[in-house]
Amino acid sequence: MNKFIAAMISSLFAISAMAATPAAESSPTPATIKAQVKAEKADVKANAAEAKVDAKADAKMAKVATRSAAKKAKAQAKADKARAKAEVQAAQAAPGNEVGAAAKADKTIAAADEKMIKTTVNANADMQKAEADAMSRKTIAASHTLAVKDKGNADIRAAAVK
């Protein structure tokens, strides 16, 4: 009886060991190879398209950043020029009219500063808008590339089953 139980246990281990070993991979079929080649071509094409979108978005961002910096610099220069002109006019005011000239200069400076701040804020907003647009374009391109890769992998699996 002990020999019988030992034989049963050893055969059980042998069967489980045979079941645990993976079956040998068969060579890929021509359909699988064709699907792999097609998937690789689509993947390369999608990666190239994504790189092109990324480059365009980066170029647009650089262009907007340059334009924004130029607008801000021009606005700052205009404000500085208006400030200097107002201060000169206040300094050259007739005796007895210094208070009125100083008030007028302060009003001119405040208007110039307000205009400069408005231009700077608008330039920053344009830059943020362009950055958001670039990021959305890059994300869409990346998701398209991922979808192409997934579709290719699905086609390869489907061809392997056939």
Bigger pLDDT: 11 or 71? 71
Angle between helices 98-161 and 30-91 (to 10 degrees): 180
Give the pLDDT mean for 42-47. Answer: 94
Domain locations along the chain: 30-161
Q: Is residue 156 within 8 Å of residue 39, measured between CB atoms?
A: yes
Give the Å distances, CA to CA, from 105 to 116, 132, 156.
Answer: 16, 40, 76
The confidence score (pLDDT) of residue 24 equals 46
DSSP 21: S
pLDDT for 25 beyond 60: no
Give the pLDDT mean for 69-89. Answer: 94
Give the pLDDT mean for 44-49. Answer: 94
The first and second tokens of residue 132, run together, are 């958001």
Give the pLDDT mean for 69-94. Answer: 93
The total number of residues shown for the chain amounts to 162
Find the farthest-apart pair of alpha carbons in the chain and give their distance in angstroms, rounded.
130
Q: Say how far apart CA 56 and CA 138 lie, in whole Å.
A: 10
pLDDT for 113 beyond 70: yes
Confidence label for 152 from pLDDT (cuts 50, 70 and 90) = very high
